[in-house]
């Protein structure tokens, strides 16, 4: 435990004991209060270093994937959207609001479990649980969604790209088989099992996995940026024409003939409509969930949380500058339109992702091969992170007795909550199966977006009122948490602004989703999860009362270490 953590723990315990004595008139109230928790100590160990926490946070942002998704799909589905400008806007909207609130509240409550910890203590345990479950369920649902993407998109791109530069029809043929439901399920299941084993093992294994994935991501991004920076539109067009069935200077005309209305330039309205999909990614604030296992909680939250967000947005913005400088938006839009409308100009119907387009930027086979392999490793780098978020949230609910206490058991040798990890694996297999074989694949995406957004609104508001509703705890927090601007707590300002950003995102997303069948399905699923979560909380509360245990007493304290 750091000096700051020790000082905070001692101060907060003194405040809490005084408050309990005042409330109960019992000098020995501590013994009775502690019984509300599953046990007196969590069993978790502060063993995650600051660099590992930073790499873990970056893994959740998946920059190598977002460079593809933002500058192809989002730019296509919102014709005229300037995704570079959108990245700048979202960075300005989220880093000083969502980022600061999440960081300061986790320093104030340096325990594993994420926003559930402070919402349940600042507002109400039922709201904390229901809000936390939203982001909890977004983890296995994203596993299913990414499993489909891993097979039909990422691995397919790796094989097709290397097959293209080496003139190997066999590799091109392999890529065509990867989008089948069976392959989606098999590959998704395989990486899911690997992620489970990584997370069950001691945390040093998780650290090694994060290090490899982070380095691979940075290498892949660096190679792509180098190739984009070293080329011009003319040199790209020359390379493109060697492989494409449609000359580069005819892409826009061909897309128009196929029915496209190709934007003549960027449009501010379309750019604003695209913002929610980037704000969605800004809610990936993963480092708060294992805060109780951080060696230096205060430092980790600042370096990993805010530092990881800043690095991500720098990559997104620089990537946009380089990408648009070499590949004009109209050309990129036209390539994506032709792909989605069955007239892909590239061999074997290849998707025009930025790393695939590197084929047209260089004739160096090794460089292109390393690039796509690094992007693949940078993509699978994200997998164990979903288990970390899910398992630590489940652990926190269980430790507070809201759900069975068995799920908070920690293995004495590995210091990991194995049962909570396995529960994530079970849910992940359900969503992988759904995304591989079931209807409404895109409903999973819409549900995940909603779950990541709605649950964080109460978190922002809890941060905003924390200095007032929990004045003693606020004053016992480290000095950085007590920062004020013109006499107003920084937490109050950032929390209110963060809530406003997320409310804007939810409102705009609802307008778009309600026009789509899969969107309405996602909204309905989200509402169902909220209702189910409240039912579970109150059922647990009254069940424990029948056993003589008042679980609400746990929420008057910060959980023990």
Q: How far is CA 120 from CA 110, 344, 459, in A?
A: 14, 51, 10
Give the angle subtended at the CA of 300 by the CAs of 295 and 306, to the nearest 5°. Answer: 175
Give the angle subtended at the CA of 174 by the CAs of 336 and 165, to the nearest 5°. Answer: 65
Three-state secondary-structure class, residue 48: strand
Q: List the chain pLDDT tens, one digit each, 561 residues.
A: 444 444 444 444 444 443 443 333 443 433 344 467 988 889 999 999 999 999 999 999 888 888 888 888 888 999 999 999 999 999 999 999 999 999 999 999 999 999 999 999 999 999 999 999 999 999 999 999 899 888 888 888 888 888 888 888 888 888 878 888 999 999 999 999 999 999 999 999 999 999 999 999 999 999 999 999 999 999 999 999 988 889 999 999 999 999 999 998 899 999 999 998 899 887 888 999 999 999 999 999 999 999 999 999 999 999 999 999 999 999 999 999 998 898 888 887 788 888 788 889 998 999 999 999 999 999 999 999 999 999 999 999 999 999 999 999 999 999 999 999 999 999 999 999 988 888 766 778 778 887 888 989 999 999 999 999 999 999 999 999 999 999 999 999 999 999 999 999 999 888 888 887 878 888 888 899 999 999 999 999 999 999 999 999 999 988 998
Look at residue 469 and tell me if it is in a domain.
yes
Collect all residues with Cβ–Cβ distance below 8 Å to 288 and sequence separation of at least 6. Answer: 102, 105, 106, 114, 115, 301, 305
Q: Which of 499, 501, 509, 492 is nearest to 457 (CA)?
A: 499
pLDDT of residue 440: 63
Full DSSP string of 319-380 = HHHHHHHHS-HHHHHHHHHHHHTT---SGGG----TTGGGGGT---HHHHHHHHHHHHHHHH
Look at residue 17 and tell me if it is in a domain.
no
CA quadruple 415, 420, 422, 423: dihedral, nearest 10: 180
Look at residue 335 and tell me if it is in a domain.
yes
Which two three-digit tokens encode residue 239?
């390379």
Q: Are 5 and 11 in contact (CB under 8 A)?
A: no
pLDDT of residue 18: 39
pLDDT of residue 478: 94
Rounded CA separation 388/386 (Å)? 5
Find where tokens 């995102």 sit: 505
Collect all residues with Cβ–Cβ distance below 8 Å to 496 and sequence separation of at least 6. Answer: 460, 461, 464
Q: How far is CA 434 from CA 48, 180, 431, in A?
A: 34, 14, 5
Q: Which domain range does residue 202 map to?
A: 3-12+45-556
389, HSE (Cβ side, Cα atoms, 13 Å): 28
pLDDT of residue 441: 66
Residue 82 DSSP class: -
Three-state secondary-structure class, residue 484: strand
pLDDT of residue 3: 41
Collect all residues with Cβ–Cβ distance below 8 Å to 424 and sequence separation of at least 6. Answer: 139, 140, 196, 386, 387, 390, 391, 394
Look at residue 40 and tell me if it is in a domain.
no
Look at residue 219 and tell me if it is in a domain.
yes
Rounded CA separation 532/360 (Å)? 51
pLDDT of residue 543: 95
Distance in Å from the first CA to the final CA of the chain: 10
Rounded CA separation 124/140 (Å)? 26
pLDDT of residue 31: 39
Rounded CA separation 373/161 (Å)? 10
Rounded CA separation 114/137 (Å)? 14
Query: CB 47: neighbour CB atoms within 10 A?
Result: 16
Q: Are 393 and 136 in contact (CB under 8 A)?
A: yes
pLDDT of residue 22: 38
Look at residue 515 and tell me if it is in a domain.
yes
Rounded CA separation 221/226 (Å)? 9
Rounded CA separation 304/259 (Å)? 46
Look at residue 18 and tell me if it is in a domain.
no
Give the angle subtended at the CA of 275 by the CAs of 262 and 512, to the nearest 5°. Answer: 75
Look at residue 38 and tell me if it is in a domain.
no
Q: Which of 365, 342, 65 is nearest to 221 (CA)?
A: 65
Q: How far is CA 560 from CA 128, 239, 366, in A?
A: 18, 61, 52
Number of domains in the chain: 1
- CATH number for the domain spanning 364: value is 1.20.1740.10
pLDDT of residue 165: 86
pLDDT of residue 352: 86
Three-state secondary-structure class, residue 294: strand
């Amino acid at each position: 435990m750091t000096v700051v953590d020790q000082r905070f723990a001692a101060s907060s315990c003194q405040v809490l004991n005084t408050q309990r004595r005042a409330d109960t008139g019992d000098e020995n109230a501590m013994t009775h209060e502690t019984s509300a928790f599953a046990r007196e100590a969590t069993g978790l160990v502060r063993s995650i270093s600051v660099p590992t926490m930073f790499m873990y946070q970056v893994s959740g942002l998946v920059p190598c994937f977002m460079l593809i998704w933002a500058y192809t799909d989002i730019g296509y589905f919102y014709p005229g959207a300037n995704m570079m400008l959108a990245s700048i806007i979202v960075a300005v909207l989220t880093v000083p609001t969502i980022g600061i609130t999440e960081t300061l509240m986790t320093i104030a409550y340096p325990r594993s479990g994420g926003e559930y910890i402070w919402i349940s203590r600042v507002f109400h345990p039922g709201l904390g649980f229901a809000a936390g479950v939203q982001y909890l369920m977004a983890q296995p649902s994203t596993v299913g969604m990414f499993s489909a993407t891993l097979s039909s998109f990422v691995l397919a791109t790796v094989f097709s790209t290397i097959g293209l530069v080496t003139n190997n029809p066999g590799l091109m043929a392999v890529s065509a088989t990867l989008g089948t439901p069976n392959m989606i399920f098999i590959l998704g299941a395989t990486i899911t099992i690997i992620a489970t084993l990584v997370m069950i093992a001691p945390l040093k294994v998780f650290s090694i996995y994060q290090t490899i994935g982070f380095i691979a991501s940075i290498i892949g991004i660096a190679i792509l940026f180098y190739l984009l920076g070293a080329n011009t539109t003319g040199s790209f067009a020359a390379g493109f024409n060697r492989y494409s069935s449609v000359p580069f200077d005819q892409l826009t005309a061909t897309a128009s003939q196929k029915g496209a209305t190709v934007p003549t330039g960027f449009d501010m309205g379309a750019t604003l409509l695209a913002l929610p999909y980037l704000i969605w990614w800004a809610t990936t604030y993963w480092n708060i969930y294992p805060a109780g296992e951080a060696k230096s909680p205060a430092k980790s939250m600042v370096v990993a949380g805010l530092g990881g967000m800043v690095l991500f947005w720098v990559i997104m913005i620089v990537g946009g500058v380089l990408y648009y400088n070499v590949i004009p938006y109209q050309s990129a839009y036209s390539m994506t339109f032709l792909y989605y409308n069955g007239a892909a100009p590239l061999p074997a119907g290849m998707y025009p992702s930025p790393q695939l387009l590197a084929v047209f930027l260089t004739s160096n086979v090794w460089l292109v091969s390393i690039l796509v392999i690094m992007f693949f490793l940078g993509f699978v780098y994200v997998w164990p992170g979903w288990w970390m978020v899910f398992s630590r949230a489940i652990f926190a609910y269980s430790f507070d007795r809201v759900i069975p206490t068995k799920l908070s058991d920690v293995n004495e040798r590995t210091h990991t909550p194995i049962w909570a990890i396995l529960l994530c694996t079970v849910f992940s297999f359900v969503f992988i199966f759904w995304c591989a074989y079931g209807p409404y694949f895109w409903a999973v995406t819409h549900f995940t977006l909603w779950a990541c957004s709605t649950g964080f609104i109460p978190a922002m508001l809890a941060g905003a009122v924390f200095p007032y509703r929990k004045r003693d705890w606020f004053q016992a927090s480290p000095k950085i948490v007590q920062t004020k601007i013109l006499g107003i707590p920084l937490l109050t300002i950032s929390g209110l602004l963060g809530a406003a950003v997320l409310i804007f995102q939810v409102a705009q997303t609802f307008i778009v989703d309600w026009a789509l069948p899969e969107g309405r399905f996602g909204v309905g699923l989200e509402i169902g999860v909220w209702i189910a979560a409240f039912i579970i909380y109150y059922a647990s509360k009254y069940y424990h009362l029948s056993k003589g245990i008042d679980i609400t007493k746990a929420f008057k304290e910060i959980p023990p270490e």
